């Protein structure tokens, strides 16, 4: 499944849930939630790069680094961009 700019709320929620589940496993923290901030839960540039690779491979989207670092996961996922040549994703 690919999330597009015309994606449904259900698609956004699926990506959001996947981000939370992936980060819980990656950071070994079962209490991470959609309202958390990436940096506050222990995220850093290498984790961000791996997360964006996971999202690009799984959903065809990437997160904006500045937004992911400054806002909650739900805000960052809602603003996810399609992965492609113009993307600034770390791969």
Query: Where along the chain do its domains lie?
Result: 9-82
Q: Which residues pair with 37 in a beta bridge?
A: 72
CA distance 6 to 71: 22
Model confidence pLDDT, tens digit, residues 7-37:
566 689 999 999 999 999 999 999 999 999 9
Question: Which whole number is the average pLDDT over 32-54?
Answer: 97
CA distance 71 to 80: 13
Question: Which whole number is the average pLDDT over 54-77?
Answer: 96
- In terms of pLDDT, which residue wins out, 61 or 5? 61
Look up the CATH architecture of domain 9-82.
Answer: Orthogonal Bundle (1.10)
Question: Which whole number is the average pLDDT over 74-79?
Answer: 95
């Amino acid at each position: 499944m690919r999330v597009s700019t015309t994606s449904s709320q259900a698609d956004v929620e699926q990506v959001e849930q996947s981000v939370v589940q992936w980060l819980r496993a990656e950071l070994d923290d079962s209490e991470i939630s959609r309202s958390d901030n990436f940096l506050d839960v222990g995220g850093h540039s290498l984790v961000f790069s791996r997360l964006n690779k996971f999202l690009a491979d799984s959903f065809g989207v990437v997160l904006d680094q500045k937004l992911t670092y400054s806002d909650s996961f739900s805000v960052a996922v809602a603003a996810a961009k399609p992965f492609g040549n113009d993307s600034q994703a770390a791969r």
